[in-house]
Amino acid sequence: MGRGGAIEALLEAREQGLIKYIGFTSHSEDAALALLDSFDFDTMLFPFNWVSWHRVDFGKRVLNKAVEKGVGILAIKALAKRKWRPEEKDKYEWPRWYATVESFEEASLALRFTLSLPITSAVSPGRVELLWWACDIADCFKPLTGEDESRLVELSSGFDPVFPQ
Question: Global pTM?
Answer: 0.91
- 14-52 per-position pLDDT tens digit: 999 999 999 999 999 999 999 999 999 999 999 999 999
| For the chain, domain boundaries | 6-156
Superfamily of domain 6-156: NADP-dependent oxidoreductase domain (3.20.20.100)
Q: Which residues contact 32 (CB under 8 A, 6 or more apart)?
A: 24, 26, 44, 46, 62, 65
Partners of 47 in beta bridges:
76
User: pLDDT category, 85, cuts 50, 70, 90?
Assistant: confident
Residue 1 is predicted with a pLDDT of 86
